[in-house]
Amino acid sequence: MGTVLADAHTTHSDVRYKKDITILADSLNKLLRIRGVQFLWRDADKAQSPQIGVIAQEVEKEFPEAVITNKDGYKSVAYDKLVAPLIEAVKEQQQQIRKLEEGNNELKTRIENLEKK
């Protein structure tokens, strides 16, 4: 029998448990293809107030590791597995912002130099 590496609040993530580590690629574009949605449950036994979430089939196309399919074919999302792509997407956006800032600063410098002439 194996050892459980999680409790109700954490998932063990120590590098010593892992091998073949690679950084997620293209996370921003993948996340852009997943919709955040508001919805109501069809099941009357579930809360009938508006809910928020994602569509498992959309997530599965981009991050199959984050979707579980039960014996009846219904899909569930392990939302905690979307944290890593979100982190990488923020980093990708930050790179884009830095490039835009650099371009903006170059333009400002050119304009200032033209105004001095």
Q: Provide the pLDDT confidence category of residue 9 given band limits of 50, 70 and 90.
A: confident
**65-96: pLDDT as tens digits:** 999 999 999 999 999 999 999 999 999 999 99
Q: How far apart are CA 10 and CA 79, in angstroms?
A: 13
Domain parsing of the chain, residue ranges: 29-116
Q: Provide the pLDDT confidence category of residue 7 given band limits of 50, 70 and 90.
A: low
The confidence score (pLDDT) of residue 117 equals 76
Rounded to 5 degrees, φ, ψ at 73 are: 90, 0
Which uninterrupted H or E stretch holds 52?
strand 51-54
Q: Is the pLDDT of residue 19 over 70?
A: yes
Q: Is the pLDDT of residue 1 over 90?
A: no
- Token pair belonging to 102: 């650099």
Average pLDDT of the chain to the nearest whole number: 93
